[in-house]
Structure 1
Amino acid sequence: MLSTKDKLLRNLDWNLLYTFLIIVNEGGISAAARKLSLSQPSVSNALKRLEEHFDKRLILRKKGVFALTLQGMRVYEYASAASRVISNMADHFVEQQDTIQGEITIEIASHLQCPAFDKTLASYHALYPNVIFNINTQPSADIVSHVTEGTLHIGLSNKKIAKTGLRFDFIGYEKMGFYCGPDHPCFGKNDLTLEDVKGGAYISFESDQPGEGLDAIAQFRQEHQFWGRLVAVSSNVEEIRRLILTGIGFGALTIDSAQPYVDQGLLWSLPPYNDFPMTEIYLVTPETVSLNDIETHFIKQLKKHVREETARHYSSH
């Protein structure tokens, strides 16, 4: 004859425990039903069956009252531990590469440098090699517009606006510096000041305007009266760099993207040598549109790497 414990182990349904966890985590039957896409009676019945298995009341349910009993707290603690074990087992055995495939479209500002994003591309591809990346560069304002219009679900932008239906998650900073090419009169000169560069021909990003994506550069130029004759404008970092290299003027680039060219002697750093303009980087996503699994997993990976980069930054200071 089976003992009471053996009967419980044989007859207990994991689905009932899982439903119980959702009820507690969501704070009620109605919310759990929405989360599980089930009817309220189905969820209520699952809780009732679980209580019958334990022959204990697990949740006090009265008008305006929703609280775990002592036995309910114990069941929740054990069920949570079991859930973590089962989840780890699923991660180990389920071949996610075979279940997630397709294409993910992302738009980023062309000058944007974000280590967390780069790491996400690598780790995401390792997990889901059958997903194809479709990455395009756009001005920050256009990226925000595309997410607003619903034609884009994931964008990396320097521009943040208060707008219903959009979510902006801060994911990092990028340092901007000013540079010139070999044929520029300032090339090779050390200890230059802002006064030495002021008034020179200037090559500008399209978004180097107040209130746009590179607002930080516009503010710096305004604050220091760092003006010069405008000779070229582009929204593409490669074209900005090409124009700077020709020597027709100086312009701004991210420190990280310019450094390899500085090391090769193709670009020269201009003041300020410290206190660089800093631009903020945001993940832009729709707030009211459901994302598919490909997009959801990518965003989860990106936020994970952002947290790791943040922790690494503060641990080194």
Structure 2
Amino acid sequence: MNETEAERQALARLGQQMDWNLLRTFMVIVQEGSITKASVRLFLTQPAVSLALKRLEEQLGRTLIDRGPGRFAVTAAGEQVYDEAVAIHATVSRLGALVRDAKDEISGHVHILMTSRIQTPLLDRSLREFHRMYPQVTFRIDVMASADAHIALQQRVGAMAICLLREPIPGLSSQVFLRQTYRLYCGSEFRLFGQRDIDIAELRHENFVSFTSDQIDGALSPLTLFRAREGFAGRVVASSANLEEVRRMILCGLGIGPLPEHIAARDVDDGMLWELPPYEGIAPVNVHLIWNEQAKLNRAERAFLDYLQTALATAPARELAGVSPVP
């Protein structure tokens, strides 16, 4: 093996084994023009700084600083090493800023369970903004009855649910996601459609359309309590777990029935539904964000759950009531 080849291999090994701390110490020595001053700046002892310089010179096989009593001069080799050390230091110094500025690339799948017809600008905005931040994340939304969503979360199926919650469920955490008021409505063929100042007594024998969870032990038990309190004696002739189907059956005239105010508002404006007493509304029935703290969420699910919780903490009251922001 000739000398040139031996030197090439030695330099290759040197590049793999070089200690950045030696280069940094050398850079400070040159900048300070003194081993003593460099030791003060580096919070090291003078012997430690001298040893670092000696080790670097031994590794490179070159004298980097010509030093002696009253003499301190950087050699030609030292100037080259210093220039490289400054460039390396600049790159290392930028790493922190680069990491802070770079988006954390999150990928994965988010499985959300949801009751039907959740209509709120807060959810729409959260999905839209989260997707812009993390376009690699995929979503699946399964629509189901609230009771089924509760069971699925307890079985650790799905990352989170947005649905009704009558009372706290052991093992599940929750936060109010949407504040809504249920009111009583009828379709355009109902005999009292278009009339004002209706006495609630005129409704007590009418057939009713409602939700399958409109039961004393169901998520919509406030509706059950309302009928009992007001003495409604009509039959529940149609029901569904799906809000859209309840709306359809009210519109078709199967009976009068309850709907969330913000959901029915457009149909009222379009002359398809008419609000019935009590005009203060039947009951507040809130939609909750629910999750299982014991479930092992992937990074995407955890990030989206955290995003929703932050959005809820900062959302204006109008959004929590399902009202779109004023343009």
Q: Does 1:243 align with 2:219?
A: no
Q: Which residue of structure 1 lines up, in the alignment, with residue 238 of structure 2? A: 232
Q: Structure 2 unaligned runs (5+)?
A: 1-33, 45-94, 321-327
Q: Structure 1 unaligned runs (5+)?
A: 10-85
- Counterpart contact for 1:160–1:282, Cα < 8 Å: no
Letter in 2 for 1:236: N
Q: Which residue of structure 1 lines up, in the alignment, with residue 305 of structure 2? A: 299
CA distance in 1, matches of 2:174, 2:227: 26
User: How far is the alpha carbon of 1:280 from its aligned partner?
Assistant: 2.1
Summarize the alignment of residues 103-252 of structure 1 with structure 2, pairs less than 5 Å apart.
103-252=109-258
Residues 1:100 and 1:268: Cα distance change in structure 2 (over 3 Å): same
User: How far is the alpha carbon of 1:309 from its aligned partner?
Assistant: 2.4
Cα deviation digits, residues 173-206 of structure 1 (max 9, x gap):
2111111111111211111121122211111111
CA distance in 1, matches of 2:149, 2:304: 18
Letter in 2 for 1:152: G
User: How far is the alpha carbon of 1:259 from its aligned partner?
Assistant: 0.7
- Counterpart contact for 2:187–2:272, Cα < 8 Å: yes
Cα deviation digits, residues 67-93 of structure 1 (max 9, x gap):
xxxxxxxxxxxxxxxxxxx99964532
SS in 2 for 1:199: coil
User: How far is the alpha carbon of 1:268 from its aligned partner?
Assistant: 0.9
Letter in 1 for 2:129: S
Letter in 2 for 1:201: N
CA distance in 2, matches of 1:181, 1:308: 38
- Which of these two proteins has the greater Rg computed from alpha carbons? 2
Letter in 2 for 1:155: A
Task: State which of 294, 304, 309 in structure 2 corresponds to 1:288.
Answer: 294
CA distance in 2, matches of 1:222, 1:213: 16
Residues 1:247 and 1:156: Cα distance change in structure 2 (over 3 Å): same
CA distance in 1, matches of 2:228, 2:98: 57
Q: Which residue of structure 2 lines up, in the alignment, with residue 258 of structure 1? A: 264
- Counterpart contact for 2:162–2:177, Cα < 8 Å: no
Number of residue pairs matched? Answer: 235
- Counterpart contact for 1:172–1:306, Cα < 8 Å: no
- Counterpart contact for 2:182–2:283, Cα < 8 Å: yes
TM-score (ref. length: structure 1) = 0.67
Task: State which of 93, 102, 125 in structure 1 corresponds to 2:102.
Answer: 93
Q: Does 1:7 align with 2:56?
A: no
- Counterpart contact for 2:177–2:288, Cα < 8 Å: yes
CA distance in 1, matches of 2:162, 2:301: 14
CA distance in 1, matches of 2:150, 2:40: 58
CA distance in 2, matches of 1:189, 1:4: 91
Letter in 2 for 1:192: I
Letter in 2 for 1:7: L
Residues 1:288 and 1:307: Cα distance change in structure 2 (over 3 Å): same
- Counterpart contact for 1:114–1:174, Cα < 8 Å: no
CA distance in 1, matches of 2:239, 2:318: 36
User: How far is the alpha carbon of 1:169 from its aligned partner?
Assistant: 2.4
User: How far is the alpha carbon of 1:3 from its aligned partner?
Assistant: 4.8
Q: Which residue of structure 1 lines up, in the alignment, with residue 60 of structure 2? A: none
Residues 1:8 and 1:233: Cα distance change in structure 2 (over 3 Å): farther
CA distance in 2, matches of 1:274, 1:308: 28
TM-score (ref. length: structure 2) = 0.65
Could you say what the CA RMSD is over the residues aligned between the two structures, in angstroms? 2.7
